[in-house]
Chains A and B, each alone.
Chain A
Amino acid sequence: MQRDHDERRRDAQTELDEALSALHDAELSEEQAAALRARVDAEPALARRLDRFDAVDRRLRAHAAPEVSGDLFARLQRRIEKDRSGSHGSARLRTPARRLLGARLGLAGGLAAAAALTLYLALGSGPGNDPAREAMPGLVKSAIAPEGSPPSSAETVVAEREAVARPLLPEAVASAPGIAALRVPALDAEWAAASDEEVAIAMQYQVLADLELIRDLEILELLAALEEVGSRG
């Protein structure tokens, strides 16, 4: 009882503090801001807190950032030229290359999982109160592409699974409330486990070397969240 009370008080305190931070950022509605400002005027502790938030921001803004090198644009232009001529040097893919593989393989498995989950839900066979949660672990596991799949077939498998799963994804996501709010780190284990041959395949995925990557990672994160919810369920 006392613990509940303490917890509620802490929550209220956090909520108030969060609102102060939002007030500082001018992110409250006019009414909310006016009400909170009146409280701040009446309570010195809140005013001090607000001042402190301001002090933090001032210190952050005082950060001395490095200057952009004078030749950075020229270097960028050289890279663009290289990019145009189709020379995919190591610099271009140095950062994302190995991660792309993890992302791509994860995407294949994840999208397949979403498709399987959607079909499962559509059939209405989910046990328990929350069929999405009940259904996930097994489905996700079984849908992940088996390890050590022949590299030559990986691209085809990914393409096929994407084609089937993509249109079904929104429905799958909608079937599992709260998933969108969860954020999960990407798939480092898959990345680390990838062989050089697999990396070479990943490097061919030009589509993932640009903005597609962003969209795909978004989907990936969502699906990783699905998986996490499933493993907790």
Chain B
Amino acid sequence: MREIDPDAQLMLAFQAGDVSAFEKLFERWAQPLLRYLERIVRDAATAEELVQEAFLRVHRARARYVPEAKFSTWLYRIATNLAFNELRRPRSRSHHASIDDETTGIQLAARESSPEARAHARLLGEEVEREMAELPERQRMALWLSAVEGLSYAEVAEALETSEKSVKSLVHRGRARLAERLQDLEV
């Protein structure tokens, strides 16, 4: 028999009436979900709202929940659809650019030794961020879920409602574009 993942077990426990299981799921997944959504909608407050919305959907769906896939894949799928909705809202595009683009650069730069190296690392970080923001949504989502959240192509496919072949291509195109940008800066 197929083993059910621990999160799906929590969801089943929640379905059976254990309210603390829902809280555990929230504790486990709110942060990764926020990180993913913020990367997509590029606004921390909106991302947090969407995290809330995603968990509200999970809560509403508890009675009908069937563990067909990993819980996280299902959750990312809900979040992805919410993010798509958000990005399609006419007034949403402009304010999704308030992310602190410098933070990543700073974080990476701090690991470098000399001030020059730190400045360069910071520049690279900022550029990768900028380029990432320019990627088409689906490339950005696929690359993030695969490279950062560690989902397999099959899981990303499930989350984005597409085929594994398409995920392979989306991840590659996004990564290749960022790699070109890095190369330009390093030359």
Stretch at the interface among A32-40, A69-77, A111-119, A158-166: A69-77
Whether the Cβ atoms of B179 and A52 lie closer than 8 Å is yes
> Interface digits, B64-77 against A, CB 8 Å rule (1 contact, 0 not)?
10000000000001
Q: From B84, B163, B168, name the one whose CB has the most chain A CB atoms within 10 angstroms.
A: B168
Q: Name the one of B60, B90, B165 contacting A210, with C-beta atoms under 8 angstroms.
A: B60
Q: Which residue of A lies closest to B52 (CB)?
A: A76
Say whether A11 faces chain B, with CB atoms less than 8 Å apart: no
B89 touches A83 (CB 8 A): no
A72-88, CB under 8 A of B: which get 1 and which 0?
11011001100100000
Bound Cα distance from A221 to B176, whole angstroms: 27
Q: Which residues of B contact A65 (CB under 8 A)?
A: 31, 34-35, 38-39
**Contact bitstring A18-34, B, C-beta under 8 A = 1, else 0:** 10011011010000000
Answer yes or no: A17 CB below 8 A from chain B CBs.
yes
Q: Is B108 an interface residue (CB 8 A)?
A: yes
Given A59-B108, A210-B61, answer yes or no on A18-B169 (Cβ-Cβ < 8 Å): yes
Q: Mark B161-180, 1 if CB is under 8 A from A, else 0.
A: 11101101101100110110
Binary contact readout B21-54 vs A (1 if CB under 8 angstroms, 0 otherwise): 0010011001100110011000010011111110
Is B104 an interface residue when CB atoms closer than 8 A count as contact?
yes
Q: Please tell me which one of the listed residues B103, B148, B161 contacts residue A221 in the complex, with CB atoms under 8 A apart.
A: B161
Contact in complex: B176, A17 (CB < 8 Å): yes
With a cutoff of 8 Å between Cβ atoms, the chain A residues found around residue B47 in the complex are 66
Within 8 A of B (CB), among A76-112: 76, 79-80, 83, 92, 95-96, 99
Task: List residues of chain A with CB within 8 A of the CB of B31.
Answer: 65, 67-68
Residue of A nearest to B127 (CB): A59
Q: How far is it, in angstroms, between the C-alpha of A188 and the C-alpha of B85 when the chains are bound?
A: 10
Report the tally of A-B residue pairs with Cβ distances under 8 A. Answer: 152
A143 part of interface (Cβ distance < 8 Å)? no
Q: CB < 8 Å: which of B56, B85, B144 contacts A60?
A: B144
Tell me whether A63 is interfacial, beta carbon within 8 Å: yes
Nearest Cβ on chain A to B116's Cβ, whole angstroms: 18
A binding-site residues for B, Cβ under 8 Å: 17-18, 21-22, 24-25, 27, 49, 52-53, 55-57, 59-69, 72-73, 75-76, 79-80, 83, 92, 95-96, 99, 180-181, 183, 185-186, 188, 191-192, 209-211, 213-214, 217-218, 221
Binding site for A on B (CB under 8 A): 23, 26-27, 30-31, 34-35, 38-39, 44, 47-53, 55-57, 59-61, 64, 77-78, 81-82, 84-86, 88-90, 100, 103-104, 106-108, 124-125, 128-129, 132, 138, 143-144, 146-148, 152-153, 161-163, 165-166, 168-169, 171-172, 175-176, 178-179, 182-183
| Complex A-B: 12 CB contacts under 8 Å | A21-B176, A52-B183, A59-B182, A63-B129, A66-B38, A72-B52, A76-B52, A80-B59, A183-B162, A186-B84, A211-B60, A217-B161
